A and B are shown apart, each in its own frame.
Chain A
Amino acid sequence: MVRAGAHVLLVDDNPKALEFLDVRLKALGYRTTIANNGEVAIAAVERDKPDIVILDVTMPEVNGYQACRAIKRISPKTPVIILTAKAEPADRFWAFESGADAFLNKPIDPAVVVEKVRGLLES
């Protein structure tokens, strides 16, 4: 079972891109933090120790793959979901090569994302 108020860190340089997920997760009882770039996300992982991270890829300065590697160095057991509009096979490869636990393509039904979050937190 997912413990009550599990903390999800949402990372995207476009805040609207994750707002619908933020709303849904909060409605389901999760705690959320939004970071708008890779550097802020890495700092948030160090500081807040979220239970799971949902990461966009295309971000300025530190992209999602770089952020994922850094997060996995800081907290290897924190699951990371890459959620991106990049749909080439190479993107999937780089996601897992960076240590991601799941790779999801936009557009995606947020119910599927929540299921993935739940599954990773339970495993």
Chain B
Amino acid sequence: MILSGTTLAVVAVDEAACERVAAPLRTAGALVQCTIEQTDTLATLSEPGFDAIVLDVGEQPERFLPVAIALRTDPRTRDLPVVALPDPSLPSGRLARLGAVHVIAQGDEGASVPLLADLIESRRTALAAIEYARQQEERMRAAGERLTSMRTEAQTLAHDARALCGIVVGFAANLRDEIAGPLEPTQHVHVALIIDAANDTAALLERFVTTARAQASLPERMSSRPPPSRRVARRTMVDFAEIVRTTARLLGTMAAEKAIVLRVDAPHPVLLWGDSMQLKQVVTNLLVNAVKFTPRRGGVAVTVRSVNGSRPAVGRAGRSRAELIVRDTGPGIPTEERERVFQRGVRLALDVPGSGVGLAVVREIVSAHSGSVRAGEAPGGGAELTVELPLDIRSRREQPLLLVEEPAAARKVFAALRGQRDWTREALQAGSPLVAALETCRAVIVVPRGSRASLDEALEDAAPISARTSAEGS
């Protein structure tokens, strides 16, 4: 029953011819409707539900020409398989005008069964594929509309939230400038923190919208970027020590609630070329963890400092680093868990609230800054988290400039920076004054001998990066 479930139309010149053609089709399981070729044939054939049409053209294919043309042009029937059964003696040229129909010689009607089965199956497969594609297109369109709508909502939200941040910053600045009356020194600190936090919030929102916009405009393959915490979003010159002090002040209340002594040792600037908000996130996560796991009346000690590398590479930024150590007097982290705590979702103490992503985010941000973080044991058994971040040559603000006026020395400096030219080897031996100067200076300035104007320009170029950045931003 190869044609079970199919409905066929047979068009013939008379009833007998129709039944002759229909018989093997019915035997194969098809439901067959016989139609005598006449004026209302087209109306019958264009009714929905037929899977294929058989034209018993015999010796008179021209008589079926209007039907064949109509079937090919009517949108309701043009994709239906059409099989023609001509008289075997009919020259093939007389069938050509019927168009793209499948031909089986009259008298061989049985052969039409497998042919029709194939044609119907192919058509059904094609229709199913078209329907599937249509549904997929519809889903994609709906998803696209949802995405566009979410992006618009996100932009509106960011806009409105920035406007609200503007009100917070505005009134806080009025307090700061004592327009509403004098402030105590502590109140000044609090107001500065409010302004800082509101500006950070606005910057975060803007960054979110910018990222969403950039992602939306990229092809899918290119937009599969890592999450924001795994890349450095925006580098500027930042004082890591100041970030630590500010964050510790913000978390002071949280520590005070548990009578925890939060001690910060960050007396000197530690300048980095990094993303200030991400670095704030690192410090916040570490301090929140420390305070959370430290029992009442315990202590959290935070140290941040620059550590000089043992043997910096000549002419490069060196391997000096910023080191942040957070120690607490909590239960500590078992040795076997000290690596696992940096995995997303890992929580060592299920009775302490948390999501298990804090330290994972710390590691992602620190890695994005080419640094490292490790967990260890503090004296007394508490946890000790150590973050190391590379310092940038531009951070050596407190270190001297190296001015090179001799043309010969200038060549040596450039060669040292590039690590090229044999004749520089001698000059770059360990202990040579030039090597020592390169390792300790924050910038190398080469000027033609005696050119005062060039020297001034060079010094201006070597001005602190952060100062230049803020000037450009205003």
* A43 contacts chain B at the CB level, 8 A cutoff: no
Chain B residues 56 to 95 lying within 8 A of chain A, measured CB to CB, are none
* B169 contacts chain A at the CB level, 8 A cutoff: yes
* B189 contacts chain A at the CB level, 8 A cutoff: no
* Chain A proximity of B154: nearest CB distance (Å): 13
Task: Check if A110 sits within 8 Å of B160, measured CB to CB.
Answer: no
* Mask of A71-111 contacts with B, CB within 8 angstroms, 1/0: 00000000000000111000000000000000001111111
Instruction: Describe B's contact surface by its main secondary structure.
Output: helix
Task: Check if A106 sits within 8 Å of B165, measured CB to CB.
Answer: yes
Residues of B within 8 A of A107 (CB): 162, 165-166, 168-170, 198-199, 202
* A23 contacts chain B at the CB level, 8 A cutoff: yes
* B337 contacts chain A at the CB level, 8 A cutoff: no
- Nearest neighbor of A20 in chain B, beta-carbon distance: B170
Q: Given A87-B162, A107-B198, A107-B199: A16 and B167 within 8 A (CB)? A: yes
Chain B residues 164 to 179 lying within 8 A of chain A, measured CB to CB, are 165-171, 173-174, 177, 179
Task: Check if B163 sits within 8 Å of A20, measured CB to CB.
Answer: no
- Partner among B163, B199, B206, B474 whose Cβ is within 8 Å of the Cβ of A17: B163
Residues of B within 8 A of A111 (CB): 173, 177
Total A-B Cβ pairs within 8 A: 60
Residues of B within 8 A of A106 (CB): 162-163, 165-166, 202
Task: Check if A85 sits within 8 Å of B166, measured CB to CB.
Answer: yes
Task: Check if B167 sits within 8 Å of A20, measured CB to CB.
Answer: yes
- Partner among B162, B170, B177, B199 whose Cβ is within 8 Å of the Cβ of A85: B162
CA distance A85 to B156 in the complex (A): 10
B-side interface size class: 20 to 34
* A14 contacts chain B at the CB level, 8 A cutoff: yes
Task: Check if A58 sits within 8 Å of B159, measured CB to CB.
Answer: yes
A-side interface size class: 20 to 34
CA distance A81 to B474 in the complex (A): 15
Given contacts A20-B167, A107-B170, 8 further A-B contacts (CB under 8 A): A17-B166, A19-B171, A24-B177, A58-B163, A85-B166, A87-B209, A105-B162, A111-B173
Residues of A within 8 A of B171 (CB): 19-20
Q: Given A20-B174, A23-B174, A87-B206: A108 and B169 within 8 A (CB)? A: yes
CA distance A24 to B180 in the complex (A): 9
* Chain A proximity of B216: nearest CB distance (Å): 13
- Nearest neighbor of A86 in chain B, beta-carbon distance: B159
* A21 contacts chain B at the CB level, 8 A cutoff: yes
Chain A residues 1 to 59 lying within 8 A of chain B, measured CB to CB, are 14, 16-17, 19-21, 23-24, 27, 58
- Nearest neighbor of B178 in chain A, beta-carbon distance: A27
- Nearest neighbor of B171 in chain A, beta-carbon distance: A20
Task: Check if A109 sits within 8 Å of B162, measured CB to CB.
Answer: no
Residues of A within 8 A of B159 (CB): 58, 85-86
Task: Check if B179 sits within 8 Å of A27, measured CB to CB.
Answer: yes
Residues of A within 8 A of B168 (CB): 107
Interface-central residue, A16, A105, A107, A110, by most chain B CB under 10 Å = A107
* Chain B proximity of A8: nearest CB distance (Å): 15
Residues of B within 8 A of A58 (CB): 159, 163
CA distance A58 to B160 in the complex (A): 10
Residues of A within 8 A of B179 (CB): 23-24, 27
